[in-house]
Structures are given as structure tokens and as C-alpha cells.
Chain A
Amino acid sequence: MSVTKAPPAHPAEAAVRKPSTRRRLVPYWLLLPGILWLLVFFALPMVYQASTSVQTGSLEKGFEVTWHVRTYWDALTDYYPQFVRSLLYAGTATLLCLLLGYPLAYLIAFKAGRWRNLVLVLVVAPFFTSFLIRTLAWKTILADGGAVVDALNTLHVLDVTAWLGWTENNRILATPMAVVCGLTYNFLPFMILPLYTSLERIDGRLHEAAGDLYATPATTFRKVTLPLSMPGVVSGTLLTFIPASGDYVNAELLGSADTKMVGSVIQTQFLRVLDYPTAAALSFILMAVVLLVVTVYIRRSGTEDLV
């Protein structure tokens, strides 16, 4: 450094500059807690799990890094049905959330008037109860001999769903349908809120303008409302699909051995089988798959083009 060789020609100027460097550092100081949080609770566990996934050994003898990459291949071949199932259930639940959530979000944004805040509170209200309790409640709702199953049986709806492979033996519990119902219910608010936010931002006069320019209400929705709400659709589907594909509570509580999702497998491997390398490898595969699906999805929906 040449600081000693060339002292500042104008001491006053140096004095003026000093606080500005301090001011420049302020954003970094403000970022520090967040960065530390990510480092300790995200980056470090990732590195740790990555190392675990390439270890071999047993609980008694201890695990050590042997770069046994085959664990990944074995995990994938052993558990690919659970992977496919996870993506299928999560995808179905996401689609159902979108179909249920969009009209509701639209209603709140454009038609609720003074009831808007109340309805929004109602959307969030389930969060005041524990996730587990709510999911267990669905066990009662979908129970054999319960009102829902009886009604659907009487209407022969369960015959149709059984033919589709969603239910079996005239029951809902312990079938794919129960798991998808649970996922849909639990993640619905994560769909509604982003949808609401992006719909609410749409200027109501755009609807009037579209109507004025010969668009029927249906066309107005297709050509104006839907494209403008795409950011909400994308963030809502991501907020639903990503956690739903890794979820295991719904599959555990509402499903059966035949409806296990990859989250359940990871949980079992970690906590019961105590095969840490396989569990870690499964986690990384799931992450890679979700990342891939999400990347393709964002690319294709082209939301970066939206204002």
C-alpha cells in the first residue's frame, strides 16, 4: 500500500470521505445476521449431508468417507417408485390447489369488498392449529363409515375413483386419494396468498378496458387477468409443489405402505433403519429432481417477461 508514501493532499477531503466508507458498509452489516443464519442452518448442514451421503460403515463401527457414490444409484433404483409417487401426488395436489385456490383468490381480490380481510383471515386461520392436529382431523373426516365415505359410496363416486386407482375397497383412508386430499388441504393457503397478492395488484380498469374493446368476460379472463396473474400462479405452485413433494406427514398419517412418498422413506432411513448415507443420498436426489422440475417449469412459464 502506498498510503505512507502519498499522504492525502487535502486532509479535509479525507475527513469527508471517511463516513461515506462506513455508510457503504452498513448494508453488509445488515445482511450479516441473514448470511450467518444461512451459513449455519443451510450451507453447513448441506456440506455435512453431502459428506454423509458418500460415507460407508455402520452405527457400531462408525461411518467414514469412502466416496461410495454407488449409494446414489442404489437409492434411486430401490426407491424410484416412491420418487415417482411423490412427484405425482405433489403435482396432483398442486393442480387441485390451483383449481380450488384461484377462484377463491379471485373472489377475495375483486368481489369480497369489505369482507376481504375477514376472508383472508379465514384462509390463514388453519395455521392457528398445529399441522399435525389438522392432518389427524382428516383421518376422522375420511374415516370408514364416516359421512364423507358414506355419501360418496351412495353416489357411487368411490366406484369411479376405485376404477381410476385412487381408492380401493370403498374406503378413502389409506389410499392415494386420502394423501392427495391431505396435501391439498395443508398447502392450499400457500397457493391462495400469492395468487391473491398478484390478482389484487391488477388494475380493475383493465377489465373495463378489455370489456370496452369487445372482450367477453371469459375472454377478459383469458387474455388479461390470467396472464397478469402468472407471477402469482408460478410462486403459488412452487410454494405448494416444493414442500409437498418432500412431505411425509400426510403420507404417514393418511396413507398406507402402498402410498409412501419419498419423504417417508428418508424419515425411515434416518430415524429407524439408521442408514444415514442412503437417507442423505435420497435427500440430495429429491432436491436435484425438484430443482430440475422447477427450473423447467419456470423456463416454460416465461414469467421473467412479466412486469
Chain B
Amino acid sequence: MTQQQTEGGDVRLTGISKTYGSFTAVHPLDLTVPQGSFFALLGASGCGKTTTLRMIAGLEEATTGTVSLGGRDITGLPPYKRPVNTVFQSYALFPHLDVSENIAFGLRRRGIRSVSRQVGEMLDLVQLGDFARRKPHQLSGGQQQRVAVARALINHPQVLLLDEPLGALDLKLRRRMQLELKRIQTEVGITFIHVTHDQEEAMTMADTVAVMNGGRVEQLGAPADLYENPRTTFVANFLGTSNLIEGEIVSAGTDVVVAAGGGKLTLPGGRCPSPVRSGGKLLVGIRPEKMSLTHTDDADRIPEGRNRVTGRITDSSFIGVSTQYVVESTAGTALQVYEQNIERDSRFQPGAEVILHWNPGHTFGLDAAQSIDAGAAGADGPEAVA
């Protein structure tokens, strides 16, 4: 098999799905991953992201649909005939081979005899030059992970698939490997498809993130776009934290006014799901770091035109760069606010009466017909596990 780096080597999934008996792991899915991009499939465990990846690798047979690569249909090809390589979650390094033989495995299978130069280059790329003769069990988790990446990359696949490759590493090492993987991807320019449950990881590394939930893609876009303009409560809660307040639409137009908890909140009509009708319900969303906290005694200092919610602090936790407050209010329970630790107001203690206020332009609207808590548990779940 020859590997040609064709232009337009996009990965295209068309109506691909996977069912196990009566359980549908992946609902029919259309997805295009542009060549050379760093693409992340993000979701909680069991959302079908790994199954999708395995169908691209050929390790799982698709129930329906097709996988094509650079215009070539590869749905029927066994894994060993696909020009893609995988970095497995458990690394799956061959325990009986040393590091350099592990890396050379793919080249040797394709009948390439002199591999030492390429293996040497790969070892340099992943900075493991001194470990060539070690066995996998003599390496640390991070080193094994880099061997797994080198073993896949040496084949110059058209697409590199990464199945939660950083899941087994501790937090610090994970952050370092994220940067390293990003550096390698920029260096080699190969399409990376990265599966992860860590939203921070997906946002730091990927150009495009597809958020998956229950076997479907909920939303797809650039990390900042997903974060600022979530279209579902799942995305709003799973990517970072969102405060969602349910309210009734009072007036619609360029600005939408919503009545919630005895007050009125304004948000741009362009950030609401269409159609918006007065009298209808709407979920008003705002990110915790976009809100400011002011003690009720200083209420008159809040500039005009900002959205306001009055409440009482029930909890505060100091986390270094910021302090997180939980505020109880009539508009919504357990609203979260992150205040930068610049000038700390000593009155902000649990029990203090405060006003939350923010720029209406930072508000987004969501369809009220969905569960307000979707994805909320998954948002901090992975961090807690790690």
C-alpha cells in the first residue's frame, strides 16, 4: 500500500451508526473533518465518541453509513488496510518489543527494511532518544504515551486517531502532554481526531470540537464559539459552567426582554433560538465569569442598563486566581459567580445580600423545552475523577 498525501483528504462520515442488539451507541451521524485539522470528539463516557472513532479506524463495523477518506470509501476495509493509525487509551504497546521495535512495527509490516533513521527521527520528535532499548514496562505513563504517539505517527497516516490518550495521566502531566500533542500536530500537519471527556482538554487542543451526547452530535464548532454560543443546555452545562434562569418572554425584537424571578433580563435577539414569541418560555444563560458581584449597600454604583439579579451568598470558595460564590436568588437557585481576586470585598461572606449584574450582550438564550440540568453532572465529573 502506498500512502499518498492527497489534497482534500477530509474524513467524511455519512449517515454512520452503530447498534449493539437493541442499544444504539451512535445514531446516524454526518460529520466532516477537514484535512490537517485538530478535531475533538467531546462527551461523557458512553456518548458514542469512542465508537465513532473506532468505526473510522475500522475496529468497529458500522451498522449503517459510510466512512470515506479523501473521497475514497474505506467503509469495507479492514483496519490493516486503512491509512489511519490509532493511539489507544491504554497505549497497547507490545510488551515483548522494546521502544524502537514498537515504533518500527508499522513500517516493518509494510515491508520497509531500513527503519533506523525514521525511528530515530520519531524518538527525537517525542523526546525519547535515550529510551530506544527500554521495554514498555520500564517507562512511565507519560513516556509510554509518547511511544504510542510515535508508533502511530511514524506511518504518516492521513489521519491520527487518539482515543483518550491522556486519560491515564495525572493532571500536571496531562496539561504538558496536551501542549506537546498540539506542538506535534502543528509540526507534522496530519489530521488529528481526538476523543476526550475532558472539556478543557478539547478546548485547549482542538480547532473544532464536536460535543456528543447519547450517540448524537449536539453541537459542532470552534471552542470559543461553542463556549460563547451553546445551542443546547447540554453544551452549556458540559462545556464549563452556565447559570440557566427560566423566564417568560415579555417582548421580542432586536433585544428580547424576559421576566424571571420578579425582575427583567435583557438579551440580544440574535443569541436566542428562533422563533421567539412573547409569552413563550426561554432559558436565559450567563457564564459565571461574566457576572459581577456588588453588595446591596452599593446598589446605586451599578451602571445603568445591566441585567440584575438580587440574592444572598450561600457559599464561597477561594481557588487562587478567583473566588467562586454560590448565590441563592428568586430567579434561580445556586447561581455561580467567579470573582477575580483583585480587590476582595470583605463583606462577601455567606449570608450577605448581593446583586449580580452583567452586560446584557453576554447573555444567551436557550430553548426552554429541554432539561435545564442536561450535562451538568458531566461538566465537573471528569475533573472529580481525575
Q: Do they bind each other?
A: yes
Chain A residues in the interface with B (C-beta under 8 A): 203, 205-206, 208-216, 219, 223-224, 227-228, 306-307
- Flag if B95 contacts A212 (CB, 8 Å): no
- Flag if B79 contacts A211 (CB, 8 Å): yes
- The 4 lowest CB-CB distance pairs between A and B, nearest first, are A209-B92, A213-B106, A214-B109, A205-B92
* Chain A interface, DSSP helix/strand/loop, else mixed: helix
Can you list 17 pairs linking A and B with CB atoms under 8 Å apart? A205-B90, A208-B79, A208-B92, A209-B86, A209-B88, A209-B93, A209-B94, A211-B79, A212-B152, A213-B80, A213-B85, A213-B109, A213-B151, A213-B152, A214-B109, A214-B110, A216-B80
- Flag if B88 contacts A205 (CB, 8 Å): yes
User: In the complex, what residue of chain A is closest to B54 when comparing beta carbons?
Assistant: A208
Q: Which residues of B, 30-86, contact A by the 8 Å Cβ criterion?
A: 57-59, 78-81, 84-86
A213 and B79 alpha carbons, distance in the complex (Å): 8
Residues of A within 8 A of B81 (CB): 214
A307 and B94 alpha carbons, distance in the complex (Å): 11
With known contacts A228-B95, A307-B95, A307-B96, A213–B88 Cβ distance under 8 A: no
A206 and B151 alpha carbons, distance in the complex (Å): 13
Select B92's contact among A206, A215, A216, A227, beta carbons within 8 Å.
A206
User: In the complex, what residue of chain A is closest to B148 when comparing beta carbons?
Assistant: A209
A208 and B155 alpha carbons, distance in the complex (Å): 16
- Flag if A307 contacts B135 (CB, 8 Å): yes
A306 and B135 alpha carbons, distance in the complex (Å): 10
A213 and B84 alpha carbons, distance in the complex (Å): 9
- Report the minimum CB–CB distance from A209 to chain B (whole Å): 4
- Flag if B151 contacts A211 (CB, 8 Å): no
- Flag if B96 contacts A306 (CB, 8 Å): yes
- Flag if A213 contacts B96 (CB, 8 Å): no
- Report the minimum CB–CB distance from A218 to chain B (whole Å): 10
With known contacts A205-B90, A307-B135, A214–B106 Cβ distance under 8 A: yes
- Flag if B90 contacts A203 (CB, 8 Å): yes
- Flag if B79 contacts A219 (CB, 8 Å): no
- Flag if B96 contacts A214 (CB, 8 Å): no
A-contact bits for B148-170, CB 8 A (1 contact / 0 none): 00011001000000000000000
B134 interface residue per 8 A CB criterion = no
Residues of A within 8 A of B78 (CB): 211
Chain B residues in the interface with A (C-beta under 8 A): 1, 57-59, 78-81, 84-86, 88, 90, 92-96, 105-106, 109-110, 135, 137, 151-152, 155
- Flag if B59 contacts A224 (CB, 8 Å): no
Residues of B within 8 A of A223 (CB): 105, 109
- Flag if A214 contacts B80 (CB, 8 Å): yes
Residues of A within 8 A of B1 (CB): 214
A203 and B91 alpha carbons, distance in the complex (Å): 11
A228 and B58 alpha carbons, distance in the complex (Å): 24
Residues of B within 8 A of A219 (CB): 109
A216 and B82 alpha carbons, distance in the complex (Å): 12
With known contacts A208-B79, A307-B96, A307-B135, A214–B155 Cβ distance under 8 A: yes
Select A212's contact among B79, B96, B135, B137, beta carbons within 8 Å.
B79
- Flag if B88 contacts A208 (CB, 8 Å): yes
- Flag if A212 contacts B80 (CB, 8 Å): yes
A83 and B88 alpha carbons, distance in the complex (Å): 53
Residues of B within 8 A of A228 (CB): 95-96
Select A211's contact among B59, B90, B137, beta carbons within 8 Å.
B59
A149 and B96 alpha carbons, distance in the complex (Å): 46
With known contacts A208-B59, A211-B80, A213-B105, A203–B137 Cβ distance under 8 A: no
Select B80's contact among A203, A215, A224, A227, beta carbons within 8 Å.
A215
User: In the complex, what residue of chain B is closest to A207 when comparing beta carbons?
Assistant: B92
- Flag if B85 contacts A206 (CB, 8 Å): no
- Report the minimum CB–CB distance from B198 to chain A (whole Å): 21
User: In the complex, what residue of chain A is closest to B93 when comparing beta carbons?
Assistant: A209
- Flag if A213 contacts B90 (CB, 8 Å): no
A208 and B376 alpha carbons, distance in the complex (Å): 34
- Flag if B59 contacts A227 (CB, 8 Å): no
- Report the minimum CB–CB distance from A223 to chain B (whole Å): 8
Residues of B within 8 A of A213 (CB): 80, 85, 105-106, 109, 151-152, 155
Residues of B within 8 A of A307 (CB): 95-96, 135, 137
- Report the minimum CB–CB distance from B85 to chain A (whole Å): 6
- Flag if B90 contacts A212 (CB, 8 Å): no
- Report the minimum CB–CB distance from B166 to chain A (whole Å): 17
Residues of B within 8 A of A206 (CB): 92, 94-95
- Report the minimum CB–CB distance from A278 to chain B (whole Å): 47
Which among A208, A214, A215, A306 has the highest number of chain B CB atoms within 10 Å? A214
A267 and B357 alpha carbons, distance in the complex (Å): 99
User: In the complex, what residue of chain A is closest to B135 when comparing beta carbons?
Assistant: A307
- Flag if A212 contacts B109 (CB, 8 Å): no
Residues of B within 8 A of A209 (CB): 86, 88, 92-94
- 12 further interface pairs, Cβ-Cβ under 8 Å (given A209-B93, A223-B109): A203-B92, A208-B59, A208-B88, A209-B94, A210-B94, A211-B80, A212-B86, A212-B152, A213-B109, A213-B155, A219-B109, A228-B96
Which among A203, A212, A215, A307 has the highest number of chain B CB atoms within 10 Å? A212
With known contacts A214-B1, A307-B135, A227–B96 Cβ distance under 8 A: yes
- Report the minimum CB–CB distance from A212 to chain B (whole Å): 5
Residues of B within 8 A of A205 (CB): 88, 90, 92
- Report the minimum CB–CB distance from A216 to chain B (whole Å): 6
User: In the complex, what residue of chain A is closest to B104 when comparing beta carbons?
Assistant: A213
- Report the minimum CB–CB distance from B122 to chain A (whole Å): 13
